[in-house]
Amino acid sequence: MQKRKGKALVWLRNDLRIKDQASFYHATHKHETVIAFYSFDPIHYNETQWGFKKTEAFRVQFLLETLAQLQKDLLKLNISLVISQEVPVKGIQELIKDQAISEIYWQKEWTQEEREREEEVRALLSENISVHTHYDQFLFHPEDVPMEIDQLPEVFTVFRKKCEKYSKVRSSFPKALVMSESNLLSKQFTLPSLADLGLKTPEAHPHSAFPFKGGSLAAQLRLEHYFWDTEKLSFYKQTRNGLVGLDYSSKFSAWLANGSISARQIYWEIKEYEAQIQKNQSTYWLIFELIWRDYFKFISLKHQDHIFQLGGILQKDYHWKNNPKTIQAWIDGETQEPFVNANMIELQKTGWMSNRGRQNVASYFAKDLLLDWRIGAAYFEAQLIDYDVHSNFGNWMYVAGVGNDPRDRKFNVRMQAERYDENGKFQRQWNQKSLFE
């Protein structure tokens, strides 16, 4: 085994786990000392141009729970987690100076804000500090897909079939090594509170379809429940369009979004389930959804900042409205459509909305109300516990007709309500104001 030497810093963002984590694996195998760093970047808690907080309380609470778990997990590896509320470049600069850091590891990002932060960090580094970055949030690694990124198909089905035929999912990374106790810093770092970040603690709602905690342990417990304890995975395809309850879908998206669990972990667990319990359309369909998640990441990798522009990746010339009263009615669940209202109230009160609900309220916003889809996407960014920049903007472009939907379809909200909420249970649950006032 190669002798470990030098001090390494692992800069964390949306890769908040120690299992199947490229940076921790490489850093702990190569270096004598490893320090982890996370910044509550002030940009994430500012108000956006649309008038929303960039990150609201439900997602931040989930993040705080995630980091508390990660801190415990890292302690078992004798790795300190340094917490900062400054812009990342400041905290990293201080650590390089104080700890004589020689190498830095981070998960590679490519969307605008994340890219700009990386450029700021790279600009401060001297030539003798090495940087190691990894694509660590994909199911299919970008090096393994059977196409160049600039030749990526604009239709999901073409992408999926090519990947299924010609690509393989890589194995999970082996465990990170336990460091010497002397690796730990003398200072203990505490997490900020919601109040410190300018937010109020959200109230738990009795009807929440996502009452789960953040962190890798909670993610693992959810996986064990959904796969092995209840075998709900065997029925995923039939139930995935549900609206009420804990188990109509896997609910893995929030842990995937901040990297508490990897897509590879879930994929290989599905394969184990198929070998031991059952292989059917439902087990495949969860893999199918993981590939959709990958696809939106590849689309943003190909089109870069076009995913944030009004014309989307198609660069369509559209005329959209921007009516504050209409937007607020949509946010508050006070439109003419009870199904839209129920979904929007659920989001406002719990930080969660089903996939079926998201498609309907987004289609209604963009295709019925003819509002600027980026405003709806920004509101989702603020509210959703499972916000993921690629999936969020990819899906909003898709339903707005400026993305990857070759049919540019429009949802008939009333027909959708009749089909997916036939007895009206979901709408009654969220449209009775006495339940949540």
pLDDT digits (tens, 9 = 90+) for 71-108: 999 999 999 999 999 999 999 999 999 999 999 999 99
Is residue 1's pLDDT more than 90? Answer: no
Supply angle C-alpha 71, 74, 80, rounded to 5. Answer: 80
Mean pLDDT in residue range 243-260: 97
Mean pLDDT in residue range 361-367: 97
Class of domain 309-430: mainly alpha
pLDDT at 414: 96
Question: pLDDT grade, residue 2 (50/70/90)?
Answer: low
Q: pLDDT > 70: what percent of the chain?
A: 98
Do you know the residue count of the chain?
Answer: 437
Closest CA relative to residue 367, chosen from 296, 416, 436, 427: 416
CA pair distance 26, 131, nearest whole angstrom = 12
Q: CB neighbours (10 Å) of residue 322? A: 12
Question: pLDDT grade, residue 116 (50/70/90)?
Answer: very high
pLDDT at 436: 38
Tokens of 395: 């899906």
Report pLDDT digits (tens) over 405-433. 878 889 999 999 999 999 999 999 998 65
Architecture, CATH, for domain 7-136: 3-Layer(aba) Sandwich (3.40)
pLDDT at 437: 39
Which residues lie below 8 Å from residue 261, measured CB to CB, with a gap of 6+? Answer: 17, 19, 216, 219, 220, 223, 252, 255
DSSP H/E element including 81: strand 81-84
**CATH code for the part of the protein at 138-170+216-306:** 1.25.40.80
Calculate the alpha carbon distances from 334 to 202, 326, 327, 372, 381 in Å: 22, 9, 10, 18, 20
Calculate the alpha carbon distances from 155 to 152, 201, 237, 287 in Å: 9, 41, 22, 18
Residue 362 in 3-state DSSP?
Answer: helix
pLDDT at 434: 36
Location of structure tokens 């429009």? 410
pLDDT at 318: 80
Residue 110 in 3-state DSSP?
Answer: coil
Mean pLDDT in residue range 160-170: 97
Is residue 197's pLDDT more than 80? Answer: yes
Task: Give strand pairing partners of 82.
Answer: 37
Q: Which of 111-115, 123-127, 129-133, 148-152 has the lowest mean pLDDT?
A: 123-127
What secondary structure letter does DSSP report for 235?
G
Inter-axis angle of helices 263-276 and 216-224, to 10 degrees?
A: 20
CA torsion through residues 55, 59, 61, 66, sign:
negative
Question: pLDDT grade, residue 3 (50/70/90)?
Answer: confident
- What count of Cα atoms within 13 Å lies in the side-chain half-sphere of residue 176? 28
Instruction: Give the domain ranges of the chain.
Output: 7-136, 138-170+216-306, 309-430
Mean pLDDT in residue range 218-243: 98
pLDDT at 5: 82
Q: pLDDT > 90: what percent of the chain?
A: 93
Which residues lie below 8 Å from residue 427, measured CB to CB, with a gap of 6+? Answer: 338, 339, 341, 342, 417, 421
Calculate the alpha carbon distances from 317 to 255, 313, 370 in Å: 36, 11, 14
Is residue 29's pLDDT more than 70? Answer: yes
Average pLDDT, the chain: 95
Mean pLDDT in residue range 10-25: 98
Question: pLDDT grade, residue 259 (50/70/90)?
Answer: very high
CA pair distance 44, 369, nearest whole angstrom = 28
